[in-house]
Structure 1
Amino acid sequence: MTAPALLEDAAFGADPGRWPLPAAQTPQQRWLRAVAAGGQGRYGAALAELDRLGRQRTGGPLPSLARSTRASLWRQLGWHDRARGLDGQALALAGSAAEPVADALIGLAADALGVGRFAASARALQRAAPPVADSGSARLPVRLAWVSAELAMVRGDGADAIGHAERAVALAAALPSARHGVKSRVVLAAARCAGGDLDASRREADAVLADAGRLGLVPLQWAAACLLADIGSDERSRADLVALRDHCAQTVIRRGGVWRTR
């Protein structure tokens, strides 16, 4: 497999845990390296790639997508206000191109959700739906379903959350991206918890915890461990889950992530 193909496979394919990654030869490959590193919780490496990308002259959707990616990295660490500014920049740079517009709007919806601005989040999701449809991208409907499920959860609508999460799982199954599949199942486990089906939530979270670990997706492993530490597991003790959760958090810190503490 060529270096560009390996980078694509790590960012949006079957091998999201590959490390080290091949060196980037083009701006697009640099973005792929950032996406792949972020999925592994290597936030320092991902942000460094985006810094290098920002110093290169690039056209098309890449400057906008790079800012959306940077926003996503900060949002995963709890910095929703910081992410909001970056997603705003991404939207301004997107022009009329459907894919970066949709990415930026979905990001803005997630940013608003993270600071409790639920009405603003819903408006951003509504604005995102047409460019998602126009983009022809297979990954964007999955992202839209994730944030729609998360918004339904915080609003206390478990049934709606499960519906969006199940749609994300079905859509992700048609993608080559293992990371999108695992993230969709994490969202589904959380949605089933919000809907009151703790047994189904445990089963899903136990399975996805193992898959996230096998694939090297530390942030998603952390998310599944957090959920199971709260609701219990059929396979692990709470002490083991807390230890795993803390180990994942420390791994992220060693890899350059800075958690926001509330």
Structure 2
Amino acid sequence: MTNRAALFDAAFGERPQAWPLPAATDPEQRWWRAVAAGGQGRYAVALGELGTLHRTSAPALRSLAMSTRASFLRQLGGHREAAGWDGRALAAAGGDAEAVADALIGLAADALGVGRFAASERLLDCAVGPVDDADDARLPIRLDWVGAELAMMRGDGATAVVHAERAVAAAAAHPSTRHRLKSEVVLAAALCSHGQLDRSRAIADAALDRSGDLGLVPLRWALASLLADIGSAAYTPGQVSDFRVASADTVRRRGGVWSDR
């Protein structure tokens, strides 16, 4: 497998656990390398690659790099700082539909994270056109993730489940293992918000094991956090707590800085 194929497979394919990652030889490969490293919680490596891309001459790729940095900040609880990077991403996107869509979806996620639900809804509405125009199957999945999260924050569990199940269905046809797992995480949370705790617990338990196998530490932390609240059918509360603490510690060791919000 070439370096190019290996990096794409780690970022958006079947091997998100691949490590060490081969060196990138062009800007697009740097973005893939950053995405793959961030999925594993290796934020120091990912941010190093993104720092180079922020200076690239290609506006669309520069925008995607900024949106990716924003997504890492959100994963660590920094929605306000993320909004600044997503705003820069939108300004840099020009007419590139993929970059515009990524930035708008990111801004919607940033807004809901600070309680600006109406703004989040408007941004999601604005993102629909660019998502439709872009030739990227991951974007409708992201759109439904944030749609589900917004519905959860508003207390509308039924709508959250609709969005989450649509994301799961779309992710099933996508080559990205990470997107499939993240969609399961969102579905487990949506089901919890809708009072379907047994189904939520079963999905979260299975996804927790899968996240460990795949080395997707940020998702493992999120799943352990959910199971700490609703209880696991497979693990004791102490084990779930250990998974959560270990995941958070791994993120810190790999360069992640948790936000105090």
TM-score of the superposed pair, with normalisation by structure 1: 0.98
Which residue of structure 2 lines up, in the alignment, with residue 49 of structure 1? 49
| Counterpart AA for 1:23 | A
Q: Note if 1:7 corresponds to 2:7.
A: yes
Deviation digits for residues 181-217 of structure 1, max 9, x if unmatched?
0000000000000000000000000010011111110
CA deviation map 1:216-245 (0-9, x unaligned):
100001101110111001100001000110
Corresponding residue for 2:126?
A: 127
CA RMSD of aligned residues (A): 0.8
Tell me how far apart the structure 1 counterparts of residues 198 and 74 of structure 2 sit (CA, whole Å): 29
The amino acid of 1:41's aligned partner reads: G
Give the match's secondary structure for 1:58: coil
Q: Which amino acid aligns with 1:47?
A: L
Q: SS where residue 19 of structure 2 aligns? A: coil
Partner of residue 22, structure 2? 22
The aligned residue for residue 253 of structure 1 is 252
Counterpart position of 1:35: 35
User: Any residues of structure 2 matched to 1:77-156 within 5 Å, and which?
Assistant: 77-156=76-155
The percentage of aligned residue pairs carrying the same residue is: 64
Report how many residues are paired: 261
Alignment partner, residue 67 of structure 2: 68
TM superposition score normalised by structure 2: 0.99
Question: Residue 228 of structure 1 corresponds to which residue in structure 2?
Answer: 227
* 1:94 partner amino acid: A
Which segment drifts farther, 161-170 or 59-68? 59-68
2:234 and 2:151 map into 1 onto residues whose CA distance is 29
The secondary structure found in structure 2 opposite 1:225 is helix
1:53 Cα offset (Å): 2.1
Alpha-carbon separation, structure 1, partners of 2:81 and 2:18: 29
Superposed structure 1 runs of 4+ greater than 6 Å apart: none
- Amino acid corresponding to residue 110 of structure 1 in structure 2: A
2: distance between equivalents of 1:247 and 1:157?
Answer: 32
Q: How many angstroms does 1:60 deviate by?
A: 4.6
Looking at structure 2, the residues matched to 161 and 226 of structure 1 have their Cα atoms a distance apart, in angstroms, of 19
Separation in 2 of the partners of 1:253 and 1:142? 28
SS of the aligned residue for 2:137 comes to coil
1:52 Cα deviation (Å)?
2.0
Within 2, Cα distance between the matches of 1:260 and 1:226? 16
- In structure 1, the gaps of 5 or more residues are none
One-letter amino acid of the counterpart of residue 5, structure 1: A
Do structure 1's residue 204 and structure 2's residue 206 form an aligned pair? no
CA–CA distance in structure 2, aligned partners of residues 52 and 222 of structure 1: 28
Partners of 1:111 and 1:261 lie apart in 2 by 15
Q: Distance in 2 between matches of 1:44 and 1:35?
A: 12
